Amino acid sequence: MPLTTREVQTLDSAHYMHPFTDHKALAAKGARVITRGEGVYIWDSEGNKIFDGMSGLWCVNVGYGRKELVAAAAQQMEVLPYYNSFFQTTNVPAAQLAERIVSLAGERFSHVFYSSSGSESNDTIVRMVRHYWTTLEQPERSVIISRKNAYHGSTMCGASLGGMSGMHAQGGLPIPGIVHIEQPYHFGLAPDQDKDAFGIEAAGWLEQKILEVGPEKVAAFIGEPIQGAGGVIIPPKTYWPEIQRICDKYGILLICDEVICGFGRLGAWFGSELMGAKPDLITFAKGVTSGYIPLGGVVVGKRVADVLIEKGGEFNHGYTYSGHPVACAVALANLDIIEKEGLVDRVRDETGPYLAQHFAALSDHPLVAAAETFGMVGGLVLMKDKSQHLVFDEALEVGMLCRSHCFANGLIMRAVGDRMIIAPPLACTRADIDEMMKRVRICLDATLKDVQLRGWM
């Protein structure tokens, strides 16, 4: 007999401590139990069919229910379920996948270092860049510059690199040697300023910070090509080329955290290509396996790899599951699907522009002050009065209200404050996007009605 929803919820609230969750609030209503997925839909234990507009957590890029990935995992588990890559050993899928990822990343890159998540990969990066500069006899170059409202994971290094004030408030973060500049959020910071001029100004904050810290102490700058968890903040097109110029001027390493943007989400294998950045290191995770099994890593550029390999000696760092054969086999099968179905080009040429059109059309909605997409990510801003640029009182949590209307209407959209964000599977068809946008409209209308009823607008 399968457990009832209530039984699962009881076990859950008694014993399962969830990530990023207020447990008192959760226990009062019980967790939603997700039981199944197929294509772009998931089902809960009450039989509700829900359009997954977030691809899980930005990762189920090829959609649910892909038999090829199941077969790749099962086959590898039978042959060799596990072996480590310490002590001068390797395995077939890990070596094959490293070559494949390097060739997708382009000729500036030569190696991959594996982990099992985005957070761990960024921990690797912090140690790797400091080891790099020490190897070059510049150990004082240890400061890494990141951005406010960035998301780089939840470990000590990941959360320190990240710029989420709520995360820094717990656990004594950030760790030493990590500093932050303001994010390039045009609509939020300077909506009246020319967008391209704002992009140059925002990149200039990096140079100011470099000079403030002292250029001889700065090791690297890290940024997501498009900030994901921060609310899908799409920078002006002038931003990244200017960041690149500043990094080059001071000789500091550029790290692009492509955990969301990599593997096709923006309509290229890596988002940095589209942004005009030439990173020395790339963080990846999520989409590399479409979330079917944990895998992450760092694509290491020749600039760093050559130094570490020639002169770095042993890098005293690694994970039990670095290069896990089953995870790497699933990643290879996932890349096969992306290539065979032409998903990267489809996002760039077809579904991406189609989603963009739909989003642009949302600006006729009374609640929507701005709506923008890039490839298969999108964000929209809910506002009390868009003509006056008046925001809702934060305490009203209008974004959360909208999110609950989404749940109730069979759609997963995420709320970051009053920004509603989406990142549907790359495997979406036009018909899927039509269906998703139909639900988005229904949810926005329901939110509007609710907000008006409560007298908030």
Ligand X SMILES: *Cc1c(COP(=O)(O)O)cnc(C)c1O
Which stretch, 94-102, 115-123, 199-207, 442-450, contacts ligand X (CB under 6 A)? 115-123
Residue 152 lies near ligand X (rule: CB under 6 A): yes
Cis, bond preceding 174 (omega within 30 deg of 0): yes
Which residue number, 45 or 334, has a Cβ lying nearer to ligand X? 334
Candidates 61, 117, 160, 334: give the one binding ligand X (CB under 6 A).
Answer: 117
Distance CA 54, CA 373 (A): 14
- CB of 314: closest distance to ligand X in angstroms? 26
Identify which of residues 161 and 210 has a Cβ nearer to ligand X in the complex: 161
Question: How many chain residues touch ligand X (CB under 6 A)?
Answer: 15
Under the criterion CB under 6 A, does residue 257 sit at the interface with ligand X?
Answer: yes
Nearer to ligand X, 159 or 451 (CB): 159
Smallest distance from ligand X to CB 230, Å: 9
Q: How far is the CB of 396 from ligand X (least distance, A)?
A: 27
Q: Which stretch binds ligand X (CB under 6 A): 37-45, 88-96, 117-125, 393-401?
A: 117-125
Shortest-Cβ-distance residue relative to ligand X = 118
Let me know how long the chain is.
457
Q: Which stretch binds ligand X (CB under 6 A): 147-155, 177-185, 191-199, 414-422?
A: 147-155
Q: How far is the CB of 89 from ligand X (least distance, A)?
A: 25
260 binds ligand X (CB under 6 A): yes
Unique residue bearing structure tokens 């189609």: 354
In the complex, least distance from residue 18 CB atom to ligand X, rounded to whole angstroms: 14
Q: Does 224 bind ligand X (CB under 6 A)?
A: yes
How far, in Å, are 98, 159, 312 from residue 110 at the CA level?
9, 28, 16
Among residues 174, 199, 228, 279, the one that binds ligand X under rule CB under 6 A? 228
Does the protein bind ligand X through residue 259 (CB under 6 A)? yes
- As a whole number of angstroms, the longest Cα–Cα distance in the chain is 68
Of 111-119, 196-204, 211-219, 268-276, the segment contacting ligand X by CB under 6 A is: 111-119
Q: Please state the closest distance from residue 149 (CB atom) to ligand X, in A.
A: 12
Query: What is the rounded distance in angstroms from the CA atom of residue 251 to the CA atom of residue 248?
Result: 5
Subset of residues 158 to 217 that bind ligand X, contact rule: CB under 6 A: none
Q: Which of 109, 132, 151, 354 binds ligand X (CB under 6 A)?
A: 151
Q: ∠286-288-293 over CA atoms, to 5°?
A: 70
d(CA 259, CA 344): 16
Task: Tell which residue, 44, 38, 37, has the closest CA to residue 4.
Answer: 44
Minimum CB distance to ligand X smaller for 152 or for 365: 152
Of the candidate residues 119, 334, 373, 447, the single one contacting ligand X (CB under 6 A): 119
Q: Quick one: which of 21, 43, 19, 42 has its CA closest to 30?
A: 21
The nearest distance, CB 441 to ligand X, in angstroms, is 27
Is residue 229 within the footprint of ligand X (CB under 6 A)? yes
- Minimum separation from the CB atom of position 262 to ligand X (A): 9
Of 116-124, 201-209, 393-401, 434-442, the segment contacting ligand X by CB under 6 A is 116-124
Please count the other Cβ atoms lying within 10 Å of the Cβ belonging to residue 185: 21
**323 is an interface residue for ligand X by CB under 6 A:** no
Q: Tokens 């949302």 belong to which residue? A: 362
Nearer to ligand X, 117 or 322 (CB): 117
Tell whether residue 412 is a contact of ligand X (CB under 6 A).
no
> Of residues 364-383, which lie at the interface with ligand X (CB under 6 A)?
none
| Closer of 124 and 142 to ligand X (Cβ) | 124
Q: Does 118 bind ligand X (CB under 6 A)?
A: yes
Does the footprint of ligand X cover residue 421 (CB under 6 A)? no
Q: Which span (193-201, 221-229, 241-249, 350-358) binds ligand X, by CB under 6 A?
A: 221-229
Figure out which of the listed residues 128, 268, 285, 331 binds ligand X, where binding follows CB under 6 A. 285
Binding site for ligand X (CB under 6 A): 117-119, 151-153, 224, 228-229, 257, 259-260, 285-286, 296
